[in-house]
Homo-oligomer: A and B are copies of this chain.
Amino acid sequence: MPIFRLLEYDSRPMARYFKSDNTAPAAPEIIEAIAAANHGYALGYGDDAWSSRLDARFSELFEKSVRVFPVATGTAANTLSLSTLVPPYGAILTHEEGHIVRDECGAPEFMTGGARLLLMQGPNAKVTPQMIDRTLAANPPSTHTVQPRALSITQATELGTVYTPSEVKTLCDLAHSRGLVVHMDGARFANAVASLGCSAADITWRTGIDVLSFGATKNGTLTAEAVIFFDPDRAGDFEFRRKRAGHLLSKMRFASAQLLAYLDNDLWLRLATRANSLAARLGQAAGSALMHPVEANEVFVRIGDLSATALREQGFEFYDWGAVGSGEARLVVSWDQSEEDVTALCAALASLQNGGF
């Protein structure tokens, strides 16, 4: 039986690093939870003491009986859940900025057996009822074409904006009335809930969400995502699909232990709240360069290529955004971003702004 001790280690200077929240380490509470779970024997594949608590713990969080399935990645969470909702000849309405569109190498098509994404366009990466109406009108029911069966929205969106409960309800009501189930990609769900100040229930099943990809990795876990079915009956064949895609972890206790620790003492909300508030400071500093409202932990600015270079010369790291030459940049604040870095970047942005970018 392993007994071990981790030595405290010194901090090292952090980069002024705003590239992605995927680049941050895991929160200490998460590592401690893994270490605590690393003790003795536990049945594999979810028949362990940690995994068996998940349904109850998330049901408590969501104030409703839910089914929870850990998986290894957000791509798996999104596309395995969609595969239970949409047949191979189905179609999924989604915003063209979505992760399932741009960043999953066709995983939705793969997992569903060939369903199609029907892309919708509009500001701030947010879906509107008008978009849904227009898309359904352009894809009338017919044996000759794919069948719209689901709507997938992202919360917070890929552009750092957040749907209000009222917006979600309007979309879900419309979707349901048109025979679509609704999936929420919550890779940054914690940031959205922290931003809204509402309950997890208020922004999901109470406003009509059927299935949620509950993200945790970007916001402090090591590797742990979960799919939440708000109607347990709908979970149906998820277990088979997960296994078949290689996402049933043998030592699942470690994923479950992370998820439990992530919820304990509102760790998830504390981490997200911190990141959001730092991002808000950046948004204010960006002034007129700001491209979208800062409602979560991402800040998009149009600062011009020269200013981007100037920031990089000061040691800030971030991704260019948009088309080549657009002068756009994305700044992402992680759960453990240092205040010093943010303060420094605010100052740099303000200085550039005064110079007219």
Residues of A whose CB lies within 8 Å of any CB of B are 1-12, 14-15, 17, 19-20, 22-28, 31-32, 34-45, 71-77, 79-80, 87-89, 91, 102-107, 109-117, 119, 137, 143-147, 217-218, 222-223, 237, 239-241, 243-251, 254-255, 323-324, 334, 336, 338
In the bound complex, CA of A4 to CA of B6 (Å):
8
Q: Which residues of B lie under 8 Å from residue A338 when comparing CB positions?
A: 1
Cross-chain contact B28 with A336 (CB below 8 angstroms)? no
Q: Which residues of B lie under 8 Å from residue A103 when comparing CB positions?
A: 144-145
In the bound complex, CA of A104 to CA of B7 (Å):
39
Which 3 A-B residue pairings sit nearest by Cβ, starting from the closest?
A76-B246, A22-B44, A109-B114
Cross-chain contact A143 with B240 (CB below 8 angstroms)? yes
Q: Which residues of B lie under 8 Å from residue A45 when comparing CB positions?
A: 22, 143-144
Q: Which residues of B lie under 8 Å from residue A119 when comparing CB positions?
A: 119
Cross-chain contact B71 with A246 (CB below 8 angstroms)? yes
In the bound complex, CA of A24 to CA of B37 (Å):
11
In the bound complex, CA of A36 to CA of B7 (Å):
9
Cross-chain contact A244 with B31 (CB below 8 angstroms)? no
* CB nearest neighbor in B for A72: B72
In the bound complex, CA of A165 to CA of B38 (Å):
35
Cross-chain contact A243 with B75 (CB below 8 angstroms)? yes
Cross-chain contact A1 with B26 (CB below 8 angstroms)? no
* CB nearest neighbor in B for A15: B41
Q: Which residues of B lie under 8 Å from residue A44 when comparing CB positions?
A: 20, 22-23
Cross-chain contact A31 with B24 (CB below 8 angstroms)? no
* CB nearest neighbor in B for A37: B25
Cross-chain contact A110 with B114 (CB below 8 angstroms)? yes
Cross-chain contact A243 with B102 (CB below 8 angstroms)? no
Cross-chain contact A5 with B4 (CB below 8 angstroms)? no
Cross-chain contact B106 with A146 (CB below 8 angstroms)? yes
With A3-B8, A146-B105 known as contacts, the answer to whether A22 contacts B243 (CB < 8 A) is no
Cross-chain contact B2 with A244 (CB below 8 angstroms)? no
Q: Which residues of B lie under 8 Å from residue A39 when comparing CB positions?
A: 9, 12, 25
Cross-chain contact B12 with A105 (CB below 8 angstroms)? no
Cross-chain contact A336 with B244 (CB below 8 angstroms)? no
With A104-B144, A144-B102 known as contacts, the answer to whether A75 contacts B2 (CB < 8 A) is no
Q: Which residues of B lie under 8 Å from residue A250 when comparing CB positions?
A: 22, 73-74, 217-218, 223
Q: Which residues of B lie under 8 Å from residue A15 when comparing CB positions?
A: 40-41
Q: Which residues of B lie under 8 Å from residue A24 when comparing CB positions?
A: 41
* CB nearest neighbor in B for A112: B114
* CB nearest neighbor in B for A36: B9
In the bound complex, CA of A144 to CA of B250 (Å):
11
In the bound complex, CA of A155 to CA of B284 (Å):
54
With A4-B6, A35-B6 known as contacts, the answer to whether A249 contacts B73 (CB < 8 A) is yes
Cross-chain contact A244 with B35 (CB below 8 angstroms)? no
Q: Which residues of B lie under 8 Å from residue A71 when comparing CB positions?
A: 246
Cross-chain contact A248 with B1 (CB below 8 angstroms)? no
Cross-chain contact B106 with A116 (CB below 8 angstroms)? yes
Cross-chain contact A251 with B22 (CB below 8 angstroms)? yes
A88 → B minimal CB distance (Å)? 6
